[in-house]
């Protein structure tokens, strides 16, 4: 989050806004302090029901859409890391993210439709993931589960979470949301197996970032 804030301050353009939606199941108690630590001044949304992801058919975090002044999407659905990150696990260094996204974003903010990073409507629409009726129903089931959870009905919450996952098994959002509430957490063995499986099968964990370094 500090990185998005830094970009927001560097750009300092009154005609540019960031809407940053945190999908944490723990809601404000978890996401709020992270926003606060970043001294965020952009639009901050705590979104445990994944309303934004559902609207844009995202399946994983971080994901983003660039929307121009007329409301048209000019890029969508890429692993949206503001910078390259490295984390250390034992003697291993795990690297993720990229340093090419932020310069591309700034280029678009400065040049608008003349930016080389703006994609045609045809490209954008082909990059939007189509959602089937089952996947739409999964979103509704997920929100119902969250309602039951926050009202203390654990069995009903589990039932509708499971329904959501079975209706949309490819939603990494649902899988990671679930894992984060398990003993191993969201970055444990199950997650690594999932991620490696996507790579092995050539599936899009994120849509490949189409920006040259």
Residues 154-213 that bind another protein (CB under 8 A): 154, 156-158, 160, 163, 176-177, 179-184, 186-187
Q: How far is CA 45 from the centre of its chain?
A: 13
Nearer to another protein by Cβ, of 91 and 183: the residue is 183
Task: Identify which of residues 112 and 169 has a Cβ nearer to another protein in the complex.
Answer: 112
The Cα–Cα gap between 90 and 93 comes to 8
Closest among 75, 70, 69, 73 to 105, alpha carbons compared: 75
d(CA 164, CA 141): 5
Count of residues in contact with another protein, rule CB under 8 A = 91
Residue recorded with tokens 């490819």: 170
Residue 100 binds another protein (CB under 8 A): no
Shortest CB 203 distance to another protein, Å = 19
Quote the least distance from Cβ 64 to another protein, whole Å.
4
Q: 47 or 202: whose CB is closer to another protein?
A: 47
Does 148 sit near another protein (CB under 8 A)? yes
CB of 81 to another protein, least distance (A): 10
Interface segment toward another protein; rule CB under 8 A; list 83-91, 92-100, 132-140, 194-202: 132-140
Contacts of 19 (CB under 8 A, 6+ apart): 42, 43, 45, 52
Q: Is 117 in the site for another protein (CB under 8 A)?
A: no
Q: Which of 140, 194, 209, 211 contacts another protein by CB under 8 A?
A: 140
HSE, side-chain direction, 13 A CA sphere, residue 179:
17
At 92, is the secondary structure helix, strand, or coil?
strand
How many other C-beta atoms lie within 10 A of the C-beta of residue 73? 17
Euclidean distance between CA atoms 115 and 3, whole angstroms? 22
In the three-class reduction of DSSP (H, G, I as helix; E, B as strand; rest coil), residue 179 is classed as helix
Residues between 50 and 69 with contacts to another protein, criterion CB under 8 A? 50-56, 58, 61-69
Compute the least distance from the CB of residue 91 to another protein, in Å: 24
Stretch that binds another protein, among 84-92, 118-126, 194-202, 204-212 (CB under 8 A): 118-126
Q: For residues 143 and 49, is the Cβ–Cβ distance under 8 A?
A: yes
């Amino acid at each position: 989050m500090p990185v998005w804030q830094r970009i927001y301050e560097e750009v300092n353009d009154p005609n540019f806004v960031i809407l940053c939606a945190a999908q944490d199941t723990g809601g404000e108690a978890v996401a709020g302090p992270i926003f606060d630590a970043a001294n965020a001044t952009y639009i901050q949304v705590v979104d445990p029901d994944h309303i934004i992801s559902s609207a844009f058919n995202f399946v994983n975090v971080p994901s983003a859409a660039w929307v121009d002044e007329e409301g048209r999407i000019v890029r969508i659905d890429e692993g949206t890391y503001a910078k390259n990150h490295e984390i250390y696990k034992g003697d291993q260094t795990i690297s993720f993210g990229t340093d090419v996204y932020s310069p591309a974003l700034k280029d678009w903010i400065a040049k608008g439709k003349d930016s080389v990073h703006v994609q045609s409507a045809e490209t954008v629409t082909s990059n939007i993931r189509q959602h089937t009726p089952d996947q739409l129903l999964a979103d509704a089931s997920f929100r119902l589960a969250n309602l039951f959870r926050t009202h203390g009905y654990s069995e009903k919450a589990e039932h509708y979470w499971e329904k959501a996952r079975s209706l949309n098994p490819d939603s990494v959002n649902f899988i990671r949301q679930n894992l984060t509430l398990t003993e191993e957490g969201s970055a444990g063995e199950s997650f690594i197996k999932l991620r490696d499986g996507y790579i092995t099968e050539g599936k899009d964990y994120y849509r490949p970032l189409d920006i040259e370094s």
